[in-house]
Structure 1
Amino acid sequence: MASEAFEEIVDTFEFLEDWEDRYRHVIEMGKAMEPLSEAFKVPATKVDGCASQVWLMADVEGEGREAIYHFKGDSDAMIVKGLIAVLRALYDGLTVVEVLETDAGAQLARLGLDEHLSSQRSNGLRAMVERIRTQAAGVAEGV
């Protein structure tokens, strides 16, 4: 399952054959995101396991399994901010159950990210996905 916004990124990546162009596109996506307010850059929203500073903040509409998951995020590294934009395209607007059913690894592999990110960036990306999944699971379970 992938959102229309994520499918657009897949299509763009297919058009951009050179990895450097894809890398620039991810960075531009990050630059286009609204920055997270400094008030939300706190330990509770900070993602551990990332080489860069990363903050993710859930913004959920509704309750329980049908709640709609949205999130905001930011980073001090441009490529990581772009990766947050990719994750927003993948997850934003899904129900929390759909978030949990989404195979992020398989979807991100469609972009070739697994082959072109450093191990530190890959670990950070996995940490962001895990944070998103944990947030969605908490809402689904009514926690």
Structure 2
Amino acid sequence: MANPDFEDLVETFEFLDDWEDRYRHVIDMGKAMPPLEEALKVPATKVDGCASQVWLVPKIADNVFTFRGESDAMIVRGLIAVLSALYNDQPVSDVMKIDAAAELGRLGLNDHLSAQRSNGLRAMVERIRETAAAAA
């Protein structure tokens, strides 16, 4: 179900020996993302339920879901990049079929994120799913 970008990420995580290397890789993914324009950091794009500030800006064109995002925390920027690899360029109808918990579990994220980060990650997934459901 996951797209090729996410499968590449799974392979990269399998190659990295320990969680510290994986953690650094997630942060590097976040650093590589282009920043959101300040005009997009508005209450409508802010995700509630995250300890840090998070903004997600979805776009649906030709029935294909994509989003951009940003956070003021580097690890959370990386988690946005991970979610981008999971969800971007998927047909809107497929977004709801993705079992985010299972897919992210393949990366071992559940075992290494604080409770606050896990809650924030769930809030981001929920926002993505709500957006896709409204567009479907």
Q: Scaled by the length of structure 1, what TM-score is found?
A: 0.94
Alpha-carbon distance between aligned partners in 2 of 1:8 and 1:26, rounded to the nearest angstrom = 13
The aligned residue for residue 50 of structure 1 is 50
2:69 counterpart SS class? strand
Alpha-carbon distance between aligned partners in 2 of 1:60 and 1:38, rounded to the nearest angstrom = 21
Compute the RMSD of aligned alpha carbons: 0.4
Q: Establish whether residue 86 from structure 1 lines up as the match of residue 46 from structure 2.
A: no
**One-letter amino acid of the structure 2 residue matched with residue 71 of structure 1:** F
Aligned pairs (5 A) from 1:66-77 = 67-77=63-73
Alpha-carbon distance between aligned partners in 1 of 2:4 and 2:91, rounded to the nearest angstrom = 15
The aligned residue for residue 6 of structure 1 is 6
The sequence identity of aligned pairs, in percent, is: 68
Q: Scaled by the length of structure 2, what TM-score is found?
A: 0.99
From 108, 112, 115, the equivalent of 1:116 is 112
Deviations 1:56-106 (A, max 9, x none): 0111103xxxx1001000000000000000000000000111100000000
Alpha-carbon distance between aligned partners in 2 of 1:17 and 1:99, rounded to the nearest angstrom = 30
The aligned residue for residue 127 of structure 1 is 123
Alpha-carbon distance between aligned partners in 1 of 2:36 and 2:122, rounded to the nearest angstrom = 21
The aligned residue for residue 104 of structure 1 is 100
Q: Which structure shows the higher strand fraction?
A: 2
The aligned residue for residue 23 of structure 1 is 23
**What stretches of structure 2 of length at least 5 have no aligned partner?**
none
Kindly state the Cα deviation for residue 107 of structure 1 after the two structures are TM-superposed.
Answer: 0.1
Moved over 2 A (4+): none
Corresponding residue pairs, total: 136
**What stretches of structure 1 of length at least 5 have no aligned partner?**
none
Kindly state the Cα deviation for residue 17 of structure 1 after the two structures are TM-superposed.
Answer: 1.5
Deviations 1:1-36 (A, max 9, x none): 111000111000000021000000000000000001
